[in-house]
Structure 1
Amino acid sequence: MTLLWIAIAVLLLPALWLLVAPLRNARRLHDQQHAFETNDTSAEQNVAIFQRRLTSLEAARERGDIDAERFEEDRLELERSLLEDTAVRARRPLKPAGAGRLVVPVVMVAVVVVSVLWYQQQGAEGDLVLLAVQQEVQNDPEGSLSMYIERMEEQAERQPDNPNVWSALFPVYRETGQMPQAVDALERLIEIEGRIPPLLAQLAQIRFFMAERELTDEVQALVDETLEQDPRQPTVLGLLGVNAFDKGDYEQAIDHWRRAIANIEDPDTVDSLREGIRVAQERMGIEPEETVGEGNGIRVRVALDEELAGRVDDDDTVFITARDIEGELPPLAVVRAQVSELPMTVTLDNTAAMSPQAQISQVQEARLVVRVSPSGQAMPQPGDLFGDLESVSVEPIEDAEAVEVVINRVFE
C-alpha cells in the first residue's frame, strides 16, 4: 500500500505544479500590464480622429454641401462614437503582483484532499488489499487454505460491500464443504450485484446438492427465475440434466446437457457433461462414443430474421439439424430448443446423433437446416419457418468457429 500512495503522490505532483506555475510569472505579467497601461495613447488618438472629422464636417457646412440639420445629426454621431471609444478604455486599478497568492496553497490542499477522498470512495484500494492477502498467504511457509479463509473473513468484516470479497469466499467455502457459509456468501454477493442469472444459477445449484439432488420448491423458484432471464444458462441446464438423470429420464437429461455444452467454454466441465451423456446413452441402450469429448462437429449460431419474429411464439420448437450432403443418411445430429432461446449457439457432434449408424463424424461436410415448428412435429409442416446452410465443414470442435444460420424463409 505504501507504493500505491507514493504512486498517487507522483501523479498529483504535475497537477500541483500547474497550480504553482502562474505564481512564478505573476511579477513579470504585472510589470508588462502596468507598462502597457501607462504608455497607452489610444484615448488621445481617438480624440484626434474626432477633431479631424469634426473639422471636415464644419468645412462641408460652410461650403454648403450639407445643411444645418444634417450637420447636427453627423456631429451627434461623431460625439456618440467618441464616447463609445473612450468608455471602453476605463480600467480597474491594477492589483499588486502578489494578490491572491494565499488562494493557491488552499487550492493545492483541496486538490490533494479531494483526490484522496475520491480514491477511497471510487478506487480499488480494497481489491489491492485482497491481492496483498492472497500473496501473503501464498508466500507464507505455513500458509494454508484455512489461513486464507480466516484472512478473507477478516476482510469481509472490513469490506462488507466489496463484491470481490464474497466472490472469493464463496468458491472456497464450497470446495471445503462449508455449504451454509457458501450460501451465505453467495446470497451476500447477490445483494450487492443484483439477481443476475450466473449468481442465481450458482445458488440454485448449491441448494440443489444441499437438498441431496432434490428439486425443492426453493430450488425450482431459483431455476425458473434464472431461465426467465437467460434460457441458455448452462449451470441451470446442467442441474436440470442431473435431476432428469436421477429420475431415469435419460433422453431429457441428454437434451439439457447438450444445450448446456453449447454455452460452456470450460473444457473440463464440457468433458464432465459429455461423460454424463455417454452414461445416459448406455442406460438407454444406445452405443456411446468410444472417446466422448473428442471428435469432429460443427458449432452453429442460430438467429431469427426480425421480419418473421411476429409469426412465432416463444415456446415454439426449434430443430437444429445436420444432414449429409447427399441426403442418403438419417439426420447426423439434432438439437432441440425454443424460440425464446434465440439467438443461440449450439454444438452439433456425435453426442447429438440420433443413431450410431449416422453420426456427424462420419462426413467431411454437412448441410445445416434450422426449422421452427409451432406444432413441435419432427416432419416439416406448411407454415414452418426455416433457414439452411450448404456444405459446412466438419472439423475438430476445439478449433471450430461458429457458422451462422438465419431463419428467414417460410416452408410452403
Structure 2
Amino acid sequence: MTDFWIYAALLVLAGMLVMLWPVWRARKQHHVDRNALNVALFEERVAELQAQRDAGELSEGQFVATRDEASRLLLEDTEETDQPRLPFRPSRAAGILLLVLAGLLPVAVVTLYNTWGSLPALALYREIQDQPEPQSMQEVAERMQRITSIQPDNGEAWFMLGRALLSTRQPQAAVAAFERSMQVLGEHPEILAQMAQARFFAADNQLDSRAVAALDRALELNPQEPTALGLLGIASFEAGDYPAAIQYWGELLKGMPPGSDGARSIESGIERAQRLLEQGDEPAVDQAELQLRIELSLAEGLADNLDVQQAAVFLFARELEGEGMPLLARRIALNELPAALLLGPEDSMLPGTRLQSGQRLQLIARLSPGGDVMHSSHEGRVAEVLLGDDQVYRLRVEIPLQ
C-alpha cells in the first residue's frame, strides 16, 4: 500500500500548488505588466511626434527635444519600477485564508477517503489482480468473506460464499450465507436448493421441515432444479417411499448427459428403488461383508509445511474398470493420519449404491493441500481390492500428480 500513499501525497501536493499558484503569479505579473505599459506609451508618443514632424507641425529640433524628454521620462519610470517595493499581493486576510486552506487540504483528503473510500477494498482488488484464481476452496471462502464484509449487499458474493463453505464442510455457516443471499436477491430456485442442501448436511443427512419447504418452493420456481430433485429423491428413498424416489430421480436424469458418471449413479439408484419396490426390502447383509480394511499413511515429509487445519486426504473406492464416479468416498483430516479405518456402505456417495460381497474395486487416496477434492498434489493407489475381504490393504500417498 506504500505506492498508494505516495501517489495520494503527490496529488495532494499538486492540489496545494494549484491553490497557491495564483498568488505567486499575480506578484510576478504585476511587475511585468507595469514595464510593458510604460514602453507601449513611449512608443505611441514617439509615433505621434513623428507624424507631427512629417506634417510640418514640428521642426526637427523640436521633434528631437520632445523625443528625448519622453525617453527620459520612460527611463525614470522603468528605474522606479525596478526599485525595491512592497510586492503586489492580496490582502493579508486572503493570504492567511489561502495558507490555511492549503494546509487543511491533506487533512480533508484523508478524512474524506476514510469516510467514502476503503483500504480493504483496494487491498482485495489488488489481490484479485495478482491472483485471479484461488488455489483452493478454502481460499475461495476467505476471499468471499472479505468481499461480503466490504459489500454486505452483494447477493452473488453471499451465494458463492455459501457454495465455498459447503465445499469445505461448514454447512451451518453455509446456511447463514445462503439465507443472506436470498434476503438480497429474493427467492431463486438455485439458492433455495443450495440452502436446503446445507441444512441437510448440517442435520447429519436429514431433511428438516424448513429444508423440505425450501426444496418444494425451488421446484415450484424451476421443476428441473437438479439439487432439489436429487435431495428429495434421497429423502424419499431413505423414508422407504420408493415411487417418489424413482419419480424425483427420473426427472433429474432427464437433464443429465446420457452415459455420464452422474447419470450412471442416478440410474443405479433408480434400479435399486425399483427392485425394492417390486420385491420388498432385501434381507439384511452383514456389514463386515461389504467393508474394506485399510491402513492409510503419507510418505515421509509429505505433510511438512502443510496447514493441518486445511489440508485433507480424500479416499475413494470405484469400479475396477474406468474412471467413473466413486462408489465410496471419505474425507480424512491430515491430523488423523496415519489411520486404520473401515470403508463401507455408510461411505456411499449416493443412497441406492449397489455393493456386493467380493466385489472388485480399485482404491485411491489423494492429498489436497487446500482441502479441495478438485486440486490434489499426490496420490496413492491399490489397483484391485475385494469388498468384504479380511485382508488389510496398505495405502500410502506418495505419487506426485502433474
Q: TM-score range, shorter-chain basis?
A: 0.3 to 0.5
* Bigger Rg, structure 1 or 2: 2
TM-score, with normalisation over the residues of structure 2?
0.37
Instruction: Tell which has more relative contact order, 1 or 2 (C-alpha 8 A, sep 6+).
Output: 2
TM-score, with normalisation over the residues of structure 1?
0.37
